[in-house]
Amino acid sequence: MKILRAKLRGDRTAVQRFLREAEYGSRVAHPAVVQTYEFGEAPGGLHYLALEWADGEILAKFVRRSGPVALALSATIVRHVADGLAAAHAPASFTGTSSPRTSSTTRARSGRGCSTSGSPGMRSSRQPNG
């Protein structure tokens, strides 16, 4: 669950940006993009996003804990993040930001590691039904 901070609820620009991120995130369908299940405004002006849980470790934390990352693993992580970004920036899609703080390492269904992003729109949302 992602919730817009209370201090930003009265900031029209911040609210619009948050809802735009949710809308764009709900359009992307890709294994490297977190799925946006639902978003909206709850009573009291609380804006929220209900997101797929990406089980794993924040990429920045993984790197700090692990130290230098092997070239092959680095290439795999970059490829997964790039694939997710490409899907998010495909026509009819756009997302917020992706960074080591919003990306995580996870296990793919195959059991191999993969990288996902916790930004809505980065680790699986839906393409519009055309």
> Does pLDDT of 5 surpass 60?
yes
Q: For the segment 26-55, what is each residue's pLDDT rounded down to a tens digit? A: 888 888 888 899 999 998 889 999 999 888
> Does pLDDT of 104 surpass 70?
no
Domains of the chain with CATH codes: 2-117 (1.10.510.10)
Q: Using CB atoms within 10 A of its CB, is residue 92 exposed (0-12), middle (13-18) or buried (19+)?
A: exposed
Nearest 5°: the CA angle 24, 96, 47 is 70
3 state DSSP class of 117:
strand
pTM (2 d.p.): 0.59
Distance, in Å, from the CA atom of 29 to the CA atom of 119, rounded to the nearest integer, reads 13
Q: For the segment 62-93, what is each residue's pLDDT rounded down to a tens digit? A: 999 999 999 999 999 999 999 998 988 886 54
Rg (CA), the chain: 15
Cβ atoms of 125 and 106 within 8 Å: the answer is no
Distance, in Å, from the CA atom of 74 to the CA atom of 69, rounded to the nearest integer, reads 6
